[in-house]
Homo-oligomer: A and B are copies of this chain.
Amino acid sequence: MQAAAPDEQDGAKRDAFERAKRVRLMLFDVDGVLTDGRLWYGPSGEVLKAFSAIDGLGIRLLLQTGVTVALLSGRDSPAVAARAAELGIVHVLQGAEDKRAAFEALAARLGVSAAQAGCMGDEPIDLPVMRRCAFACAPREAHELVRAHAHYIAGAPAGGGAAREVCEFLMRAQGTLEAALARYLA
């Protein structure tokens, strides 16, 4: 995708935009997507995770437009639950060894099909979900195999704007971005 000719790039962008229009459920991986992948360890294991205020505001805005947001993490960290609670993310799937099964159970519970789902991931373990979702995206730092399967690759860094960029891309595609930002221009 990165070595694509300009025409292919344009086509890929239009395709991603069309796919983004249909998303009713957006899943975000945590480490390497909502963070830059760093894990702060103390003597008894992981103690801190660094999220981004910029990404947080994007997720809040997306939630306000009625899109459901879920976190889907292979690890299990209480910091993720705390961050999700603050952002108003109800669906937090942690410690999911089999991310595909976790995704399918959630989608079924919510009555959302894969054709209405999007997923942002950075590692090969995210591919089983990404490949089933209508809209697959990745941060620029993602594994090359993941980038090869993404419809959209964020230009902003993971854990510092990549998720925000995707939230605004979805809102632009769905025609909700302008209204969301207009309130700040009154």
CB of A78 within 8 Å of the partner chain: yes
Q: Are B42 and A82 interface neighbours, CB within 8 A?
A: yes
C-alpha gap A36/B79 in the complex (Å): 19
Complex contact A36–B186 (CB within 8 A): no
How many Å lie between the Cα of A127 and that of B183 in the bound state?
A: 10
Contact status B181-A124, CB under 8 Å: yes
Indicate whether A36 sits within 8 Å of B160 (C-beta atoms), given known contacts A31-B53, A47-B48, A51-B41: yes
Q: A159 interface residue, CB < 8 Å from B?
A: yes
A86 at the interface (CB under 8 A from B): yes
Q: Determine whether the beta carbon of B145 is less than 8 Å from that of A57.
A: no
A54 contacts B37, C-beta separation under 8 Å: yes
Contact with B along A34-75 (1 / 0, CB 8 A): 011111111111111111111011000000000000000001
Residues of B within 8 A of A80 (CB): 41
Given A57-B125, A128-B186, decide whether A47 and B39 contact each other with a Cβ distance below 8 A: no
**How many copies of this chain does one complex carry?**
4
Residue of B nearest to A149 (CB): B185
Cβ contacts under 8 Å, A36 to chain B = 160
Q: C-beta contact mask, A151-185 vs B, less than 8 Å → 1, else 0?
A: 00000000111000000000000000000010011
Contact of A41 among B37, B83, B131, B160 (CB under 8 A): B83
A42 touches B48 (CB 8 A): yes
Contact with B along A13-46 (1 / 0, CB 8 A): 0000000000000000001100111111111111
Least CB distance from A51 to B in Å reads 5
List residues of chain A with CB under 8 Å of any chain B CB: 31-32, 35-54, 56-57, 75, 78-83, 86, 122-125, 127-128, 131, 141, 145, 159-161, 181, 184-186
